[in-house]
Structure 1
Amino acid sequence: MKSQSPDPGTRSTILSRLESQIYPVFETKKVGQIKPSTSRDWVGSMEERKLSDNYQAVLFNTVSGVMDSAVDDRRIRENPCHAKTVRRPVASSPPIVVWPEERVQAVRSGLVERFKIAVPLGAGFGLRQGEILGFSPDDVDRTAMTVQIRRQIKTVRGVVMFARPKGGKERTIPLSAAMLAEIDDHEDRFPSAAVTLPWQSADGEPVTARLLMTGEGGRLYSGDLFTKVVWYGAFRAAGVEYRRRADGMHALRHFYASTLLARAVSIKELADYLGHADPGFTLRTYTHLVPSSHQRAREAVDAVFGRPALDDGLEAA
C-alpha cells in the first residue's frame, strides 16, 4: 500500500478496491496457490458480474502488481497473471465530448452568482474540480501574468483537506487579461475567505489559504457537496439536460484543452498546463481534437518545390 502512492486519497481508493473486490477472492490463498487458472476464473467472474472494462483493468493491475512483488521477493517464480492463457482486461475510454461554447455559457448562467467563477476557472485554466475549489487569488502573479496551481481540496474518509494537485506536482499556467478581470471582478463582489485545513492527511499540519470561491460566510464545499448542491442545480436552473459523465465539471477542463488545441498550442505545452506528466497521455486523450494540418503541410512543401506564378499567361523563365 505504501509503495503505491504517497497520496492518502489514492491509498484509500486502493484499499476500498481490495476490500470490496479482491480480498473476497484471494485473501485466504497463499501466493503459491494462485495459478493461471485462478486468474482466468477470476477474470471470467468479473465479466459475468458485468463490471466495466476499466474497473476490471484496474482490479487486474492491482492483483498483478501484488504478484510482481511476490516474484521480486522470491516467494514465487512467475506471475500467474502474465501467463499466455490469461486474458488481461483492457481499459477503454470513449472519445472526449467537448461542450460547445453555448453550453459553457448556459451552465454558467445557471450557477448562483457567487459560484459563476467556477466556469472561468475550469474553462480558462483547465483546472480539476478540487483545484477550482482550492484556488486562491494569492496564486496569481500579476507581473508574470501566470497562476501557480498549488493545492486542491479533497475528501478522504470523510475528512476534508488541502493536498497537492493530482500527481503531487505544482504547475504554472498562463494568465490572460480576460481571466485576470474575471478573478478581480469576483473578488470585488465576493471577497475571498481564509480557510484552514489539514495538509495532505487527516492529521496533517493545519494550513490556511484565502479561497476565491466559498459559500456565504466562508462556507467550505467539498467536491461531492458542490456537485450535488451547486453543479446539478446549475443545469436545472439553465434548463439544460444533465448527461452524467459528459457533464461533470471535468467538461470545463476538456473545453480548455480543445480551445488551446484549436489555436495550435503544442501538445507539450498543453500537457504542462493540464499537469500531465506524460505528453503522450495528453495526445492519446485529445488526439481527435487536434486540428488537421494538411493545408499547412501543403504550404510547407510548396515553399520548397512550388513553381513560379504565371505572368500574362506565360510561364516565367
Structure 2
Amino acid sequence: MAIPLREHMEKYPSVEVTRPWGHKGGDQVTVQLIFYTREKTALAAVGLIKPLDLDAKGRRWEKSRDKMMHALRHLYASMMINGGVDVYTLADRLGHADPAFTLRKYVHRVVGAGSKIRIAVRSAYTRAA
C-alpha cells in the first residue's frame, strides 16, 4: 500500500456503511469505505469533484485535495478500462450520460493497447484461416 494511503487510513480508519447497491432502491449491501464524508456516509459521485465542499472545520477544501479527488477519478476510470470494464458501465458508475465523454475526460492511455491489438488481429486471421 502506498505511504499516503496508509497515512490516510491511520488518520481516518475505514467505516462500515450499508446502502443500496448500483441504484436507488437496489439491494442493500454493507461495505468498508476508505473515503467517506465527515458524517461517515458514502461520498456522492458528484461530491468527488465538487470544488467548494467544506471540511470538518467549515473551511473550503484546499486545491490540493480537489486535485487529489479528481486524480482518483482519473485513476479509477483508467484502471477500470485497463481491467476490461466496458465504457458504458464505467460511464454509468461515474454518473456520465455520455460514454464518449468518459473516454475523452478520464481515459488517457490503455496499458498494453498495442499488444491487445496484435492479439485481436492475430486471432481474427486465425479464425478466418
TM superposition score normalised by structure 1: 0.28
Q: Retained in 2: the 8 A contact 1:267–1:282?
A: yes
Pairing 1:263–2:54 present: no
The correspondence of residues 237-248 of structure 1 with structure 2, limited to 5 A, is: 243=64, 245-247=66-68
The correspondence of residues 194-233 of structure 1 with structure 2, limited to 5 A, is: 212-213=40-41, 223-226=53-56
Cα distance in 2, alignment partners of residues 181 and 251 from structure 1: 23
Shift of 1:263: 0.6
The alignment's C-alpha RMSD in Å is 4.0
- Name the residue aligned to 1:112: 12
The correspondence of residues 11-90 of structure 1 with structure 2, limited to 5 A, is: none
SS at match of 1:288: coil
Distance verdict in 2 for CA 1:298–1:226, change over 3 Å: same
Residue type of the partner of 1:268? Y
Distance verdict in 2 for CA 1:266–1:303, change over 3 Å: same
Shift of 1:181: 4.4
* Structure 2 unaligned residues grouped into runs of 5+: 43-51
Residue type of the partner of 2:41? M
1:18-71 deviation digits (Å, cap 9, x = unpaired): xxxxxxxxxxxxxxxxxxxxxxxxxxxxxxxxxxxxxxxxxxxxxxxxxxxxxx
Distance verdict in 2 for CA 1:262–1:303, change over 3 Å: closer
Pairing 1:182–2:2 present: no
**% identical equivalent positions:** 28
Q: Retained in 1: the 8 A contact 2:91–2:98?
A: yes
Shift of 1:227: 8.1
Distance verdict in 2 for CA 1:103–1:259, change over 3 Å: farther
SS at match of 2:85: coil
Residue type of the partner of 1:102? A
Highest Rg: 1 or 2? Answer: 1
> Of residues 276, 281, 289 in structure 1, which corresponds to 2:101?
281
Cα distance in 2, alignment partners of residues 243 and 224 from structure 1: 14
> Of residues 122, 125, 129 in structure 2, which corresponds to 1:305?
125
- Name the residue aligned to 2:110: 290
- Name the residue aligned to 1:81: none
Shift of 1:223: 3.0
Q: Greater relative contact order (Cα 8 A, min sep 6): structure 1 or 2?
A: 1
Shift of 1:107: 4.9
TM superposition score normalised by structure 2: 0.57
Pairing 1:102–2:102 present: no
Residue type of the partner of 1:223? D
Q: Retained in 2: the 8 A contact 1:261–1:291?
A: no
